[in-house]
């Protein structure tokens, strides 16, 4: 089979400035991969690189020609395992770049068998869940207004970014506006272990489901310290990058948060999910600021998850791609109505 490949870079403005403990973003820079077979069927995949993990749009664009050369040389998109192995041998790092190719291949394969991706995987579309919608750090009044907007749009699960000297006031403000939503918080490594334990004790009164990445990923014993003393469940994000990290965090958290852009592709994500289950962990799938060229694929993992934080495209001012429907934040796989991942250029 002959495969033709190409990619393009895009800069997508965010609807609102998005601040976490490490800084503020106003736009998402993404790279979109296309793989077309000899019958004219096109698979689409996206990369949302993160400088925190050593990737930029420039590094993605630099390695994609080598990765796509592997795809063209193998020639058969159904040989996913072989292509994945060859890509890792060709480019050992750059997981977001490899992920874009992985998603495009899965999109193409599912389209060739004329099925949505979840069905190609044998998953039940009714076993889905609601994505959280993230409220970034800002002044209290702006965070209140963003929360009100999220509620008006029907979101019933919110994630709030923390990592300031007013974290308790932030959560109190959110709860005053949204007393009934499911609520997570994410410190993005901002706290010391002892600070984390103190803050979690105070935050527990606000009926939180869990606290994500309270301490630095470089401090695994600090994560264990918090986990053993926390009054709320702990999720590991920056501490959970690849499959090899799962056994290392199994006695340090309750929830493993995987992201396609961290792990390098859909096959690796599924391996991480099953490995986390084997270690007694719950599983969440998160995202970067991404378009539906990649978010749509992650949505097909929903039947395997306990939590979804797949709002990357919802945070954009405008997404050039349509994806899996999310009415009121619900990941509606059954309502997709398209084959492949469902990502399509509007």
Whether 220 and 95 map to the same domain: the answer is no
How high is the mean pLDDT of the chain? 97
**Residue 304 belongs to domain with CATH number:** 3.20.20.120
Whether 25 and 90 map to the same domain: the answer is yes
Q: How far apart are CA 84 and CA 105, in angstroms?
A: 10
Query: What integer pLDDT is reported at residue 79 of this predicted model?
Result: 98
Structure confidence by residue, pLDDT tens digits, 291-331 = 999 999 999 999 999 999 999 999 999 999 999 999 999 99
Q: CB-hemisphere CA count at 13 Å for 119?
A: 16
- pLDDT over 90 at 341, yes or no: yes
Whether 64 and 147 map to the same domain: the answer is no
Structure confidence by residue, pLDDT tens digits, 173-207 = 999 999 999 999 999 999 999 999 999 999 999 99
- Give the tokens for residue 95: 């997981």
Query: What integer pLDDT is reported at residue 92 of this predicted model?
Result: 86
Whether 211 and 292 map to the same domain: the answer is yes
Query: What integer pLDDT is reported at residue 237 of this predicted model?
Result: 98
Whether 148 and 280 map to the same domain: the answer is yes
Structure confidence by residue, pLDDT tens digits, 65-108 = 999 999 999 999 999 999 999 999 999 889 999 999 999 999 99
Q: How far apart are CA 108 and CA 111, in angstroms?
A: 5
Q: How far apart are CA 37 and CA 234, in angstroms?
A: 44
Whether 290 and 142 map to the same domain: the answer is yes
**Residue 16 belongs to domain with CATH number:** 3.30.390.10
**What is the total count of domains within the chain?**
2
Could you say which of 66, 93, 117 is where a domain stops? 117
Task: Give me the domain span that covers residue 64.
Answer: 3-117
Whether 113 and 130 map to the same domain: the answer is no
Reduced to 3 states, what is the DSSP secondary structure of residue 308?
Answer: strand
Query: What integer pLDDT is reported at residue 346 of this predicted model?
Result: 83
Whether 140 and 246 map to the same domain: the answer is yes
Structure confidence by residue, pLDDT tens digits, 123-171 = 999 999 999 999 999 999 999 999 999 999 999 999 999 999 999 999 9
- pLDDT over 90 at 1, yes or no: no
């Amino acid at each position: 089979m002959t495969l033709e490949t190409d990619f393009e870079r895009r800069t997508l403005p965010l609807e609102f400035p998005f601040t976490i403990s490490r800084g503020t973003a106003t736009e998402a820079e993404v790279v979109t991969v296309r793989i077309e077979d000899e019958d004219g069927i096109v698979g689409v995949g996206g990369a949302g690189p993160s400088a925190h993990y050593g990737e930029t749009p420039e590094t993605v664009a630099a390695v994609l020609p080598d990765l796509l050369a592997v795809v063209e040389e193998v020639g058969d998109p159904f040989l996913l395992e072989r292509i994945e192995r060859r890509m890792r041998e060709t480019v050992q790092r750059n997981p977001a770049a490899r992920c874009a190719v992985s998603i495009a291949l899965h999109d193409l394969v599912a389209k060739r068998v004329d099925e949505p991706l979840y069905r190609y995987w044998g998953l039940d579309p009714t076993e889905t869940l609601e994505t959280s919608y993230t409220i970034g750090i800002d002044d209290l009044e702006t965070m209140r207004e963003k929360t009100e907007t999220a509620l008006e749009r029907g979101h019933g699960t919110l994630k709030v970014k923390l990592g300031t000297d007013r974290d308790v006031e932030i959560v109190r403000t959110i709860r005053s506006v949204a007393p009934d939503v499911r609520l997570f918080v994410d410190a993005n490594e901002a706290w010391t272990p002892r600070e984390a334990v103190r803050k979690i004790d105070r935050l527990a009164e606000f009926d939180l489901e869990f606290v994500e990445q309270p301490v630095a990923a470089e401090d695994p014993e600090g994560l264990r310290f918090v986990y053993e003393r926390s009054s709320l469940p702990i999720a590991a994000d920056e501490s959970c990058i690849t499959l090899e990290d799962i056994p290392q965090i199994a006695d340090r958290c309750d929830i493993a948060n995987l992201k396609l852009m961290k792990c390098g592709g859909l096959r690796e994500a599924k391996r991480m999910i099953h490995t986390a289950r084997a270690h007694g962990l719950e599983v969440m799938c998160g995202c970067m600021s991404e378009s539906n060229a990649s978010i749509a694929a992650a949505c097909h993992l929903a039947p395997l998850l306990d939590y979804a934080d797949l709002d990357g495209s919802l945070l954009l001012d405008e997404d050039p791609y349509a994806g899996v429907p999310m009415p009121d934040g619900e990941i509606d796989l059954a309502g997709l109505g398209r084959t492949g991942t469902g990502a399509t250029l509007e």
